[in-house]
Amino acid sequence: MFTKAKENFTDEVEKYARKNIIEKLNKQGIDYKELSDSDFDALVASEIEILKSDSKKVGAGIGIGLLISALTGI
């Protein structure tokens, strides 16, 4: 069950990263279809790492918030 959920999450993150890269390239006036597959895949991999980093920061912030709430009783 957890393996399937992890696979689904990974697939969704990759879809989101691809969408983000395509939008960023379009804003710059670049058609993503003109890039080689390896260049596009490298951009997607980079975007995935950014998304992972951001999600860790958000998770840490939530954890710290919960800890402070638990300690202060708010």
Domain boundaries along the sequence of the chain: 2-72
Alpha-carbon distance of 70 to 68, in angstroms, equals: 5
- Residue 41 CB neighbours (<10 A): 13
Does the pLDDT value for residue 46 go beyond 90? yes
Does the pLDDT value for residue 1 go beyond 80? no
Alpha-carbon distance of 61 to 68, in angstroms, equals: 11
Does the pLDDT value for residue 74 go beyond 80? no
Locate tokens 């950014």: which residue? 50
